[in-house]
Chain A
Amino acid sequence: MSEATMSPPTGTRTLLEVDNVTLRFGGVVALNEVSFTLQQGEILGLIGPNGAGKTTCFNVMTGVYKPTSGRVRFDDQQISGKKPFVINHMGIARTFQNIRLFPEMTAIENVMVGADARHKTSVMGALFGLPRFKRRPHEITKNNAILASMQKTFGISRHKREELDGEHKALELLRFVGIADRANEVARNLPYGYQRRLEIARALATDPKLICLDEPAAGFNPSEKADLLALIRRIRDRGYTVLLIEHDMRLVMGVTDRIIVLEFGRKIAEGTPEEVSRDPKVIAAYLGVPDESA
C-alpha cells in the first residue's frame, strides 16, 4: 500500500463484475437485474435519484445483503453470499452514507481496527508473543527507557510488530486524508468533515483493492467538496479502484471515468460522464419527464 503505484492504465482487467443481480424485500424490488463491471484502476460513479438502489447495491457487494438472484464476482472469485468480513479480507472496503465510526474510539484507534483486518496474531500472540524480530528504526519505544533497552536486546514479538505497523499505517493514513492533527480525539467529538474523512482512512487501512465511497461529500460545502475531489483522485493515484456513490453531479462529472445510472433499482444508462449527461433517460430521471398529455 505504501509503495504507491501511479495510476495504472484503466480497462486492463475486470476487478468487479455485478451480473444480473436482483434483490427483493418481499414485494419490493430494490435491485432489478443490475449488471455492470468495474475495471482495475478506474473511478466508477454510481448515481441515481433517491431510492434508486445505490446503497443497496453497495450492501449486496459488501455482504450485508444476499442477492435474491444473480452473482457478484470480485477478483475472479464469487463473493455474493459471503460474510462481510470475508469480503473485506478479499479486498473490498466501504464507507457509510450515515457515518458509522466507532464513536468512542479515538481517530487513530478507528483506523487501527481497519489495519487489524490484515493482521494475523490474536489472543495467543498478545498473551504469549515471544520477542523474535529485530527492531526496526521506526519501532523504537520512546517513552519507556527500560522497555526500549529490553527491546534492543531481545527484539520484539510478531504481535508487537503488527501493533506498531498498524499504528504507523494508521497515522500515515490520517495524514493522507488530512486529519492527523486530531488523531487522539474520540471520533464522535470530531467535526463532521473529519468524521467523513476518518471513515475513508479506516476503509483504506484494510488494504482494499476496491474502495466504495457512499456519498462521501454529503453535507459538504463547495470548498470541502473540492478538497474531497482531490482526495479521491489521490486515492486512485495510489492504485486503488474507486466506486463512488454521489448526488452532486458536478463532483461526479469531475472525477469519474465512467458512470452507471440507476433508477428504481434498474440500470438506465452507462457511459462516460459526457455521454451520460446527454442521455435523455438520465435527464428525465433527474428532472422529470414533461407531462405529454397535458
Chain B
Amino acid sequence: MTTIDKLESADDKRIKIRKGIVDRWHGLPNWQRWLFLAAIIVFLYYLPMMNIPGLNIIRTDFAEGGSSWGGVLFLCAIYALVAIGLNVVIGLAGLLDLGYVGFFAIGAYSVALFGSTDSPVVQAIQARFGLDSEWAVAWAACIPIAIAFTMFSGVLLGWPTLRLRGDYLAIVTMGFGEIIRIVARNSQFTNATVGINFIPGPEGPASMDNKIFGVVDPTPWYWLALTVVLLLVIATRRLEHSRVGRGWAAVREDEDAAAVMGVHGFRFKLWAFAIGAALGGISGMLFASRQGYIDPSNFSLVLSITFVAMVVIGGSGNMLGVALGAVLLTYLPERFREFVDWRPFAVGVALVVVMVLKPTGLIPSRRRARELKDRAEEAEAVNV
C-alpha cells in the first residue's frame, strides 16, 4: 500500500498546484486568454531571431555535424509534431505504438520517391510516359500523397493488429517500424542503402536559386514547420473535444462497457492509428524536404523509442506536455553535443528520474494521471 500512498500524496500536491494554474487560466476573460495565446505564438515565430544568452550556444561548425539555432528549432518543431501525433495513439486512444518511426519514414520516403528526380520511381514514370529528366511530382502535390500513404499504412497495420491488446500490440508495431526500415534498405525502388538525393522543398530541390527555403538559412523552414504544428494542434484539439475524443476515452477506460454503449471501438482505434500516422508522415515529409537527402539509417528503432520517451516524459495525453517532451529531448542533445557519447545514458537516466518523481510526465493530463492511478490501485489490490 505504501507505494500508492506516496503516489497519492505526490500526485495530490502536483494536482493542487496545477489546479491553481489551470483554474486561473480558465478564470481569465476570453480576450485576455486570446491575447496571451497570440503573444506566445508571436514569441514562437520570433524565436529564431532572438539571441538568448546560454540557450542558443549551438555549435555551427557543420564539418563536425553541428547545427545552428534555427536548425535546432526546426528539429524541435517537427519532433513536437511527431510527439503530438504519437500522443493521439498513446495518450488519447491508449494504444502503445513502438514502431512510430515507420510512419515518419513513409512520410519522408513519399516526398523522396515522388518528388525527387533521383528516385527510381520518378525515373520509371519518366521512362514510361516519355517525360524529360527534369520532371517530378511537385512538392505541394507530395503533401496529399504523403498523407494518403501514411494513413493507408496506418490502417494496413491497424486492421489486423488492433485486435491485440496492450503489450502484444507494442511488439507488433515495433516489428512494423523495423519492417519499413529493412524494406527501404533492401529494395531497388528506394535506392537501398544509397538513399535518395535532391528531395524537393516548397521551392523545388535545394539550389542557389531558392530565395526562401534554401540550404543555408533554416529560419523559413522553422516557420513552415511551426505553422504546420499550430494548424495540426488545432485540428487535434477539435478531435479530442468531440465525439471521436470521447470515443477514444471510453475505449481507453473500459473497452467492453464502451462496446455495449454503442461505441465502435475498433473503428475509433483505427482512426487513431490513421490520424497519428498522418501526423508522423507530415513530420517525416518536412524532415526529408529540409535535409534534401534520406537513407534508411535515418529511421532506426532508437528513434521510435525516443518518440515514445518524448510522450512519456512530457505527459501522455497532454498536448502541451508531449510537445515540451519533444522539445527537451531534441534541444538538449543538440545543446550538449560535446557529450554525444553519453546521449543514450542521459535519456535513460532522464526516463528513470521522471518515472520515479513524476510517473505521469512533466505536464500530465489530469484525466490520464487519474486513470494510471486507478490502474496502480487495481494492481495493488490484486497483489494483496
Contact = CB atoms under 8 A, between A and B. Distances in A.
Given A62-B260, A85-B259, A89-B262, A126 B243 contact: yes
Interface string A188-207: 10000000000000110010
A103 interface: yes
Interface of A: 62-64, 83-85, 88-89, 93-94, 96, 100-105, 109, 112-114, 116-119, 121-123, 125-127, 143-146, 159, 162-163, 166, 186, 188, 202-203, 206
Contacts of B275: 123
B250 A88 contact: no
A206 B239 contact: no
Contacts of B247: 113, 116
Interface string B238-256: 1100111011011001101
B265 interface: yes
Nearest to B264: A85
A282 B100 CA distance: 60
Interface in B102-146: none
Contact of B261 (A63, A93, A127, A145): A93
Interface stretch (B78-86, B326-334, B345-353, B367-375): B367-375
Name the residue among B235, B250, B262 with the largest chain A CB count within 10 angstroms.
Answer: B262
A121 B259 CA distance: 18
A31 to B, nearest CB: 19
What is the interface of chain B mostly: helix, strand, loop, or mixed? helix
Contact of A117 (B30, B239, B263): B263
Contact of B263 (A63, A85, A104): A85
A157 to B, nearest CB: 11
Contacts of A96: 257
B299 interface: no
B15 interface: no
B262 A104 contact: no
Nearest to B235: A127
A102 B238 contact: no
B30 A143 contact: yes
Nearest to A105: B249
B370 A88 contact: no
A62 B260 CA distance: 7
21 contacts: A62-B260, A84-B259, A85-B262, A85-B265, A88-B260, A89-B262, A102-B249, A104-B253, A104-B374, A113-B246, A113-B250, A116-B262, A117-B262, A123-B239, A123-B244, A123-B271, A123-B275, A126-B243, A127-B235, A146-B30, A203-B261
Contact of A103 (B243, B260, B271, B374): B374
A103 B377 CA distance: 13
B258 interface: yes
Contacts of B260: 62-64, 84-85, 88, 93-94
Name the residue among B239, B261, B371 with the largest chain A CB count within 10 angstroms.
Answer: B261
Nearest to B368: A104
Contacts of A64: 256, 260
Contacts of B250: 102, 105, 113
B262 to A, nearest CB: 3
A144 B29 CA distance: 10
Name the residue among A84, A96, A117 with the largest chain B CB count within 10 angstroms.
Answer: A84
Given A85-B259, A104-B374, A119 B249 contact: no
Nearest to B262: A117
What 4 A-B pairs have minimum CB-CB distances, sorted nearest first?
A: A117-B262, A88-B262, A126-B242, A84-B259
Given A64-B260, A83-B259, A104-B253, A116 B370 contact: no
Interface string B354-384: 0000000000000100110010000000000
Contacts of B374: 103-104, 188
Contacts of B243: 116, 119, 121-122, 126, 159, 162-163, 166
A2 B235 CA distance: 33
Contacts of A143: 30
Contacts of A84: 256, 259-260
Contacts of B265: 85
Contacts of B239: 123, 126-127
Given A85-B264, A145-B30, A122 B257 contact: no
